[in-house]
Structure 1
């Protein structure tokens, strides 16, 4: 039996996005969150006496790798070195190898894979032989099918592990299609476990072969909701494997939608929001909340103005004794009544659906938004035209249309 930790997409020293006007103490906690998550993983590796640790790409958030991030990572690897725990690392699209003269050296227990696929062997303390295959990105854009360069399973070893930072074809994801692969291509290699990286949502790709994305170790914006962490993997010869998720993130993003359509006074709305937020008494994490408050289109202007003010939402913040629940994003949505059919969708249903279908496709959406992305002076701050971005923009447009009278 072998036991190891599989983590990916650490994005150390990554700036959180979509945050403003936070207390200084919370800002400091956020800035340290990715490092704390890494420290938790290292502690777990030592405490559980794992045979080795694998990091499947994007250790750092940028290719220039801040000095702070490099120093912190080096210190944590030295802790594992003292515990005689080997570490296997591949770099991804965010932290491709780049100029080695700008990088700090890592202790001898750390193996960083090169830009071409290579395989290393090790023998665990229990005597099992393990082969580990992988490659690091040598540049930011890797679109080749690097999976074809991975060797078939070594026959003279007990376990073969594959490290791959890439995109599984056929899944709906906002992430770029780097180093693409298919499930059939993974099966072809005959490995015992594929330690994948690049997709920030935790998911099991396959039972045979075992293949997992652990997700990133700390959510960094409102799209990366829920608990984040790493996988503890136990592989046994001729027996079922055990893969268990452990949370490492101290700060969790949550999306909360409050249906207050039937309410028409501020006190009732206030209480409903309070009931919808995580319980302060039982909170296991610090929370950053994206809150959408849904109200009736017939709500009085005076009440709408009150609940739209910053002061109203600030009343729901909680920060005490290093515990916080903070509303990071707030939106009031007015829901249009069913009795009013004087909207574009009702008047021109076929044409409306045709246009919507065209915009939902990548080609149609990109054609319409080309000027914004390629020519606008604001192009630098626009998000990548990913699937998630496209869907969000269409939802926003539909919401605006439904709230406009003809």
Structure 2
């Protein structure tokens, strides 16, 4: 049997997005969370006595790799070295290979793959031979099909594993299509396991062979909500087992509350307080969505739109916290307004939505912004999400601009 951990997209020392006016104590904890997730990966590797660890790209958040991130990585990999646990590491589009003089040396137990696909052989403590094939990005855009360079299964080894940081064709387009591949191309290699990186959502793509995106190890913004972690994999000649291990020190969570039955501040306050009391929200950064009644008085709405109102719900303790980072208010009849606009002005509505939904419109409006590297690296992984959010916002503006001209029967 061979046992190992598959992790990817650690994004050490990530700047985190969309956080403003956070108390210093909490902000420091958030900034340290990617390092805590790394420590949790190493803790899991040690406690489960794994044979090796696979790190499938984007270990760092940017190519120049902050010294703080490098020190933390070397410290944790040293712990694995002391336990005689090997590490196989590839670099992705965020942390592609650059000048070595800027980098701290890693411990001798770490194998870093170069820019060309290569295969490394490891003999485990139980004398099983494992072949590991992979490559590292040498630039931030790899558009060619590197999968074509991967060798077929090494028949002399007991197990063969592929590491690949890239995009599987047919997936939703939230991530850039780097090093594209198809599932059939993976299967043609006849490997036992594919350890994938780049997509931050954990998912299994195939059972035979096992193909997994482990997802990222620590959510960095509200679109990376829920549990994040790594995978513990056990392979034998006749059996395989894959177990998710949570590693995130903090979680981003969305809380949807329907407060339409309340028109007074007192009722809405109690509803929010109760909704945030859930133990599952401990150590979470909350995006709060409030659905209010169309009859809610404007004076109450003004209170709900005041950032200071939500300060009373923030909980920051020495070992646990619950913190609202954003709050959105939605009048419950918005969807009815959209439907009414569609039915009242079908041609105009269809043309308006079509215009704002066109890829060329989005690209034209964002080309200058995304072409600037300082901004591009922050949107590289979720341009489709940004596009969809922009379209939704545009629809809301259409409702606001046109909706006042129509009367509704509630």
Q: Does 1:27 align with 2:24?
A: no
Q: Distance in 2 between matches of 1:342 and 1:38?
A: 48
| Structure 2 segments unaligned to the other structure (5+ residues) | 406-410
Q: CA deviation at 1:264?
A: 0.4
Query: Does the aligned pair in 1 maintain the 2:232–2:242 contact within 8 Å?
Result: yes
The number of equivalent residue pairs is: 401
Asked whether 1:259 is paired with 2:255, we answer: no
Q: What is the CA-CA distance between 1:268 and the residue it aligns to? A: 1.1
TM-score norm. by structure 2 comes to: 0.92
Give the match for residue 314 of structure 1: 311
Give deviations 1:239-278, integer Å, cap 9, x for gaps.
2x10010101110000112122232011111121122225
Deviations 1:274-294 (A, max 9, x none): 222252xx3474110011112
What is the CA deviation profile of residues 34-71 of structure 1, one whole-angstrom value per residue up to 9, with x for unaligned ones?
Answer: 11110111011111110000000000000000000001
**Paired residues for 1:86-125 under 5 Å:** 86-125=86-125
For 2:331, the equivalent position in structure 1 comes to 334
Deviates more, 1:33-42 or 1:354-363: 354-363
1:297–1:337 Cα contact (<8 Å) kept: no
Structure 2 counterpart of 1:288: 285
Task: Look up the match of 1:275.
Answer: 274
Which moved further from structure 2: 170-179 or 349-358? Answer: 349-358
Q: Which residue of 2 is the match for residue 173 of structure 1?
A: 173
Distance of aligned partners of 1:39 and 1:337 in 2 relative to their CA distance in 1, 3 Å threshold: closer
Q: 1:382 to 1:188 in 2, by over 3 A?
A: closer
Is structure 2 residue 387 aligned with structure 1 residue 393?
no
1:344-377 deviation digits (Å, cap 9, x = unpaired): 423221442344245434334334x25764799x
RMSD: 2.3
CA distance in 1, matches of 2:304, 2:236: 57
**How far, CA to CA, are the matches of 1:374 and 1:88 in structure 2?**
33
Structure 1 unmatched ranges of 5 or more: none
Q: Any idea what the Cα deviations from partners look like across 1:298-318, whole Å, max 9, x if unmatched? A: 321111111221221111111
Q: Is the 8 A contact 1:334 1:403 kept in 2?
A: no
Is 1:201 matched with 2:198?
A: no
2: distance between equivalents of 1:340 and 1:142?
45
Matched ranges for 1:123-162 at <5 A: 123-162=123-162
Task: Give distance in 1, aligned partners of 2:254 and 2:109.
Answer: 40
* SS in structure 1 at match of 2:248: coil
Match of 1:360 among 357, 362, 373: 357
TM-score, normalised by the number of residues in structure 1: 0.93
Which of the pair is proportionally richer in helix? 2
Q: Deviation of residue 379 (structure 1)?
A: 7.5
Q: Which residue of 2 aligns with 1:3?
A: 3
